[in-house]
Amino acid sequence: MSTIADNVIATLRANGVTRAYGVPGDSLNGFTEAMRRDGSIAWRLVRHEESAAFAAAADAELTGDLAVVLGSCGPGNLHLINGLFDAQRSRVPVLAIAAQIPSSEIGSGYFQETHPQELFRECSVWAEMVTDASQMPRMLETAMRAAIQERGVAVLVVPGDVAQTEAADDRVTVVERARARIVPAADQLERAAQLLGASKRTTLLVGAGAAGAKDDVLALADLLAAPVVHTLRSKQDIEGDNPFDVGLTGLLGFASGYRAMEEAETVLMLGTDFPYRQFYPEGARFIQVDTRGEHLGRRVPLDLGLVGDVGDTIRALLPLLQRARNRTHLEDSVKHYRKTRDKLDELAEPPKKGLLGGRKHQAIHPQYLARLVDEIASDDAVFIPDVGSPVVYAARYLECRGDRRLIGSFIHGSMANAVPQAIGAQLAQPERQVVTLSGDGGLAMLMGELLTVRQHDLPIKIVVLNNSSLNFVELEMKAAGLPDFGTDLHNPDFSQVAQACGIKGWRVTEAADLETSLREAFAHDGPALVDVVTERQELTIPPAISAEQVKGFTLYALRTVMSGRGDELLDLSRANLRQIF
């Protein structure tokens, strides 16, 4: 008879799993040895378990299939927790196998003892421990079904000795996702049609829940003469080839997206749980469509909440609606979007001399860097920005045309996500171009994964925004009226670090050299890193500035001068004067 670990690997193979991420350890010996003997599942070694979880999450997000990560007992699987939180909040199917200390020692304070089924409870849809061979493979099947059906993380905790126990049942089951058509009740659809029919200015706020329903969203936008505002996570699904698109709203958004929301009489929320309440207009009516009824009305009071799949709901709603004759709101919003887009593009230029005096060297504007990455990258590229200022430039300058994807830690908001997620993305889809916009702080936090990129020979293109600071944190300090403190980063030459790891590296300090270096790196047949010295004092200005933020910046300026750092204000002015004039 086979062992429990053998049966787990056979079941994963039968369900199409071809790779697993992790770092080995003696409590995982049963699984790694079963994997070695089976030969069908590739062991994708990383340098840190947090990275393994991030990689598995990216793998699952790109493919839509179950991804697998393993962690040894104690600190080994504890390191998974940040990446698993990201996977859970992004709603992607991940099975985490967390090894445990010998079952006879649980509760004794044994070496490396933790209680993973409790630790992972908050970042999973299911977390349980196997204590006896008779529980398997039923618990494995339950875990897989929970991850696949609920689109989240399932954690199967297995003590090392139990994994190597002879299986009581060696059946192998294929777990398929059950699908259903989810449509609101007829009377609620009628009510939605009445509200939308009476609205003179409707705006669609479209989220990640609309994935796969773009044609339906566009048909509805056309019928209602409604501009489409998308969230960051739906950018990859909604933005491209969309004549109704007016950009994002929120802290990362466009003035045009903010305006289309503010001018709306009715906002129809489609598959979104957009969390920033200050960007919802006051006095508007709200209708929300979501498959999860418990998410309705969490952000703003609703006039109508509908439980339904976005595509199915729109298709049921369209026959009940009349084509809007007044299209002024749509036309004005699209016109404003074009103006906003032109203004943003004006910022994406090389630095110019002569503003408030010249400097011999002027750091590169990050907008210009992002624009060039957008121009050079392929039309099926996968973009992965680090959390912080790289996300802002990805949101505003990376166009989701063709089959491009944009993924990241957009809900959990963890630093250091870009390179680990790129590893999973490249392993999942080796034929695609994978590009990171890495912050210098994010890259340094899990810099050991450069060795993983090289070891697996992954042709990832790593573009580093090197501003020698935790830049977005500094911006938040400025907005709060505080001088920068504790955010300086004394960085190495990241291109030399890459070279030492066996990765081709470029360092760019002058805007005139940027395009050539990027084109060389993107054409390189193998992993490449471009370390770009970018402007530290660049302000990522939100689409609407509150009175509190104005007050905050005024206090920041006063406190900065009083602390003897007036030269920092001059640098800030030089860097951002073009955003004003």
Residues with catalytic roles = 49, 111-112, 387, 472
The span from the CA of 508 to the CA of 510, in Å, is 6
CA nearest to 316, candidates 183, 215, 198: 183
305, amino acid identity = G
Contact 25, 16 (CB under 8 A): no
The span from the CA of 544 to the CA of 253, in Å, is 9
Q: How far apart are the first and last CA of the chain?
A: 76
Contact 178, 231 (CB under 8 A): no
The span from the CA of 492 to the CA of 370, in Å, is 22
The span from the CA of 233 to the CA of 252, in Å, is 12
Taking CA 532 as the corner, what is the angle to CA 529 and CA 533, rounded to the nearest 5 degrees?
A: 150
Q: In 239-365, which ranges are continuous DSSP H helix?
A: 255-262, 310-317, 328-347
Contact 387, 442 (CB under 8 A): yes
The span from the CA of 239 to the CA of 291, in Å, is 22
The span from the CA of 115 to the CA of 425, in Å, is 30
The span from the CA of 291 to the CA of 59, in Å, is 24
377, amino acid identity = A
353, amino acid identity = K
Count of CB atoms within 10 A of residue 354's CB? 8
392, amino acid identity = V
292, amino acid identity = R
The span from the CA of 179 to the CA of 109, in Å, is 45
Which two tokens mark 431? 């034929």
Contact 466, 533 (CB under 8 A): yes
The span from the CA of 130 to the CA of 200, in Å, is 58
The span from the CA of 482 to the CA of 553, in Å, is 8
The span from the CA of 378 to the CA of 219, in Å, is 28
Contact 303, 286 (CB under 8 A): yes
The span from the CA of 376 to the CA of 390, in Å, is 17
The span from the CA of 37 to the CA of 220, in Å, is 54
CA nearest to 398, candidates 463, 445, 471, 474: 463
Which two tokens mark 75? 């600190």
